[in-house]
Amino acid sequence: MKAASHASHAARREPAWLSIANRHVAAWNGVSLFRTRLGQNQYRYFLGKLTRSRALLEGPVVADPLGMQYGLASLLGEPLTVLTRTQANLIVVTLPLTVPRSVRRLLSALFEADPKTYGYVWLCRQPECWPTIKSALQELGCEIANYE
């Protein structure tokens, strides 16, 4: 996994999965997050290290791959970017990746999911709830960027 910068409304970083052969695989102290396909839309996530000969040393399975992706990006100094914009009394929050279950539950309780975006865009109709969600996203290591 690597945090990749993409141009959109603002400069932002979102995750991108790379081939093991790619020399730009993100690593913290030589350790990277990898995934292998188990079936259609099913993956096994694990920590691993590539040797100089590009052999993969497989480490432990990751129980919370979403949290790990946010955390690894933050450790690498390339935090994933959450975009926000305000229109009237509505705050629109666009996530670079779905969030771990605990944050998703908080979002579900305080925000409304945009049904067309599979949990990537959330609508806040009560702006006083935004600081709570913003804090949870910052605990994940996210960068919060506002665009108008």
Residue 70, both tokens: 């946010």
Q: Are strands 143-146 and 81-87 parallel, antiparallel or unpaired?
A: parallel
Cα–Cα distance, 113 to 73 (Å, whole number): 25
Would you place residue 1 in the very low, low, confident or very high pLDDT band (cuts 50, 70, 90)? Answer: low
Would you place residue 9 in the very low, low, confident or very high pLDDT band (cuts 50, 70, 90)? Answer: very low
Q: What is the DSSP letter of 128?
A: G
Helices (H) and strands (E) in the chain, counts: 3, 10
- State pLDDT tens for residues 70-116: 999 999 999 999 999 998 889 999 999 999 999 999 999 999 999 88
User: What pLDDT does 7 receive?
Assistant: 41
pLDDT of residue 53 exceeding 90, the answer is no
pLDDT of residue 5 exceeding 70, the answer is no
Q: What is the DSSP letter of 29?
A: T
Cβ contacts of residue 73 below 8 Å, gap of 6+? 3, 13, 15, 26, 79, 80, 141
- State pLDDT tens for residues 21-31: 887 888 888 89
Residue 84, both tokens: 């926000």
Would you place residue 144 in the very low, low, confident or very high pLDDT band (cuts 50, 70, 90)? Answer: very high
Please state the pTM of the whole predicted model: 0.82
Domain positions in the chain are 2-75, 81-146
